Amino acid sequence: MANKENSLAHTKWMCKYHIVFTPKYRRKIIYNQYKESIRDILRQLCNYKGIEIIEGHLMPDHVHILVSVPPKISISSFMGYLKGKSALMIFDKHANLKYKFGNRHFWAEGYYVSTVGLNEATIMKYIQEQEKHDIMIDKLSVKEYEDPFKG
């Protein structure tokens, strides 16, 4: 799963992010009857956008998710969508929470995000080997090159 590449029309991509966000005032609300409901809502919203949840964990006062996000979607727009729509869906499903979280604000402002990328040494090795590969292909080529500036 770690090296799985996805693709769009002309793009190969592997964009993974570790995201942490909290309920308003860091209330310990994500447990008991709400835990499964919130988990299902977050899964559903990610599926709508084509975002794969690789790993996720709901703590009593915060959420950790490791997601694979296509490069056509920015993290800020995804988080705005996820937190906004999930808050509306949570309040629709659990109407009693409206009184604890006035004005439909379930999540706190902001979030933590960190990229989960390839190792720098691996990338340098790939670049070095790619150059060797190109040189080898050039040596195997039987095509004669003519100087375009010769008359």
25 domain-assigned? yes
In a domain, residue 14? The reply is yes
37, part of any domain? yes
Q: What are the strands, taking DSSP E only, across the chain?
A: 6-7, 12-13, 16-21, 52-58, 63-68, 112-116
In a domain, 131, yes or no: no
At 125 the pLDDT is 66
**Residue ranges making up the domain that contains 49:** 6-117
Q: What is the DSSP letter of 16?
A: E
Q: Is residue 22 part of a domain?
A: yes
* Count of the separate structural domains present in the chain: 1
Q: What is the pLDDT of residue 106?
A: 84
Active site residues: 126
Domain CATH number, residue 106: 3.30.70.1290
- 87 found inside a domain: yes
Does pTM surpass 0.85? no
Q: One-letter amino acid identity for 30?
A: I
**What pLDDT tens digit does each residue of the chain (151 aa) get?**
445 667 777 778 888 888 889 888 777 777 777 888 999 999 999 999 999 988 888 887 888 888 889 988 999 999 999 999 998 888 888 877 767 666 667 888 999 898 877 654 565 565 567 656 656 766 766 556 566 666 5
Give the Cα separation of 105 and 100 in Å (integer). 10
Tokens of 10: 């002309």
